Chains A and B, each alone.
Chain A
């Protein structure tokens, strides 16, 4: 089965610091997503990215958040000034292309972000 990888697996940071979470997508996948799961809560959509631009974002994804594919391969999520409430598991997901029923979003293992 294809694999999405994420680094780091765990990031601890001080409130107000910037963090960058990285995702290595599955080769040839064209759609990219970030989700997060605060402990004990639902998995929530943050942002989707296609053709080098944001295609959709949630109300959680405010000006403190940004995404990019700096080298055309890795997909990153940056939080400029972290808050305590940003502590969560962050998941990257990829989709090859919408079309066949078996096309689906594959999720990475997640990065646990702890803001102190």
Chain B
């Protein structure tokens, strides 16, 4: 099941710079897109979401971009901080109450 792909298993960024995490999906019927952050031995923590009617949503240092024609989702973190170091998962759903389909995750390391 490769409906959602995060092709970069890891990313290393210098503190203060921009982190860009990417996610591709296959089905144009997905309507709701999310990013979660996860630390070891903890559950996923919601970061930010976007619906298919928008192409950008911003919350503080986090911005999610949606390119529906390319079926591509990205998360920008500016400026990156060492506390942002974690595994980031993108997730998609057919609707807001529906099951989440997760990508494999990208491990972000922000170096001081």
Q: Which residues of A contact B (CB under 8 A)?
A: 4, 31, 33, 35, 41-45, 48, 50, 56, 58, 91, 93, 95, 97-99, 101-110, 112
B50-74 interface code vs A (CB 8 A; 1 in, 0 out): 1100000100000000000000000
Contact in complex: B44, A43 (CB < 8 Å): yes
* Bound-state Cα–Cα, A56 to B104, Å: 22
CB distance from A80 to the nearest CB of B (A): 23
A108 with B105: CB separation less than 8 A: no
Contacts A98-B95, A104-B34: A45 and B43 contacting too (C-beta < 8 A)?
no
- Size class of the contact patch on chain B: 20 to 34
Q: Which residues of chain B are near A31, meaning CB under 8 Å?
A: 97
Bound: A11/B98 CA distance, A: 28
Number of A-B residue pairs with CB-CB distance less than 8 Å in the complex they form: 62
Chain B residues with CB below 8 A from A41, complex form? 104
Kindly identify, within residues 87 to 112 of chain B, every residue whose CB is under 8 Å from any CB belonging to chain A: 89, 91, 95-105
- Interchain Cβ contacts under 8 Å between A and B, 10 examples: A43-B91, A48-B99, A56-B99, A95-B96, A95-B97, A98-B95, A107-B36, A109-B43, A110-B41, A110-B42
Complex: chain B residue closest to A55, CB-CB: B97
Interface centre among B96, B99, B104 (most CB of A within 10 A): B99
* Nearest A residue to B43, CB-CB: A107
A45 and B104 within 8 A (CB): no
**Given the complex of chains A and B, what is the CA–CA distance between A48 and B43 in angstroms?**
17
